[in-house]
Structure 1
């Protein structure tokens, strides 16, 4: 093969690889455009574009993993904040109870999101002949992710009633972000059906 032919072949392969990367990035962008927070969705999931290979199922699973990770981080943050304030003796009993409830509901949400990721893995094995099983798994995921969103809202409501403004503000920022990525994950899950 001549030098010109080899250079042309390398250029062609580079162009094809760039087209595939562009195609998967466009796939993520299009899927995220149908979520409530499309910019956040794309920001969180762009890194997964090469791995999902235009699979709605794989993209939804990645979104759930991101949501579970962020919920776990938020729960740990609230726990550290609570421990720090308790050590300083700065919490009244109503505020302490609201923070404990928040931590518990966030942990419940993390558990539901992690179960959803596992359930999504089970869904990947069902073909057309097993649509009812796919639908059953999908229903479980939708229920658990919706419940996780409710957990996040419950946390914020308790803090709004009883927590000091500085505590409310710090926790709200973390929990709102978790609620947004969870909402996006649910929107991506709701786009699923057999063969995705």
Structure 2
């Protein structure tokens, strides 16, 4: 697939260049633009297939594919980029959920039990977001081979802690009278963190 795509794109650009030389006009520009579109399409196709394969190793493959496919052109077939994107997505989810909990904590009318659960949940979700941020920052420095295994191990530790935090948040609200949208947001954040951790673990198993 990759060899065919590379050959096709090379042929496409050669053809576009010839058109440009022969016509010196808009048709040549259109040919190059068409090739650019073809290149983007091939990158997205490669990325989509790669994402589907890697997502099959997670506990929530459908959510994984649905969430990450939008980034297929960027991810292509790069495992590190896939894991980094997954962490970025679940960090955004954790921050969004933390914001919801912060607003909820200022709302009156809750029982003492629910108010305490929301306060605890807000704290653990904040801790989860902090660990995800550290993980994302460390993912950006995985360029060279030296020390990669150690950094991946650190990321795995932070990601595991982040998952534990959000799970504690969800469990703490179990049986409360919280709005269904709140618990759904927390559960989604938990699943996305689980997905990102599984993809990071995949990096660990393939690192030297």
> TM-score interval w.r.t. the shorter chain?
0.7 to 0.9
After TM superposition, give the deviation of residue 168 of structure 1 in Å.
Answer: 5.8
Matching residue of 1:139: 153
Q: Answer yes or no: is the 8 Å Cα contact 1:159–1:168 preserved in 2.
A: no
Matching residue of 1:122: 141
Counterparts of 2:75 and 2:121, CA distance in 1: 33
1:153 paired residue among 158, 162, 167 = 167
Aligned residues: 182
C-alpha distance 21-156 of structure 1, shift in aligned 2 (>3 A): closer
Counterparts of 2:97 and 2:134, CA distance in 1: 18
Residue 171, structure 1, aligned to residue 182, structure 2: yes
After TM superposition, give the deviation of residue 20 of structure 1 in Å.
Answer: 3.1
Residue 98, structure 1, aligned to residue 117, structure 2: yes
After TM superposition, give the deviation of residue 35 of structure 1 in Å.
Answer: 1.3
**Which of the pair has the greater relative contact order for Cα pairs under 8 Å at 6+ separation?**
1
Matching residue of 2:200: 189
C-alpha distance 188-93 of structure 1, shift in aligned 2 (>3 A): same
Greater C-alpha radius of gyration: 2
Q: Answer yes or no: is the 8 Å Cα contact 2:48–2:76 preserved in 1.
A: no
C-alpha distance 54-98 of structure 1, shift in aligned 2 (>3 A): same
Counterparts of 1:116 and 1:150, CA distance in 2: 15
C-alpha distance 61-83 of structure 1, shift in aligned 2 (>3 A): same
Counterparts of 1:11 and 1:70, CA distance in 2: 36
The two structures have a TM-score, normalised by structure 2, of 0.78
SS at match of 1:79: helix
After TM superposition, give the deviation of residue 53 of structure 1 in Å.
Answer: 3.2
Q: What 5-or-longer segments of structure 1 have no aligned partner?
A: none
Q: What 5-or-longer segments of structure 2 have no aligned partner?
A: 1-17, 23-27
Counterparts of 1:71 and 1:141, CA distance in 2: 17
User: What is the alpha-carbon root mean square deviation over aligned residues?
Assistant: 2.5
Q: Answer yes or no: is the 8 Å Cα contact 1:160–1:168 preserved in 2.
A: no
After TM superposition, give the deviation of residue 69 of structure 1 in Å.
Answer: 0.4
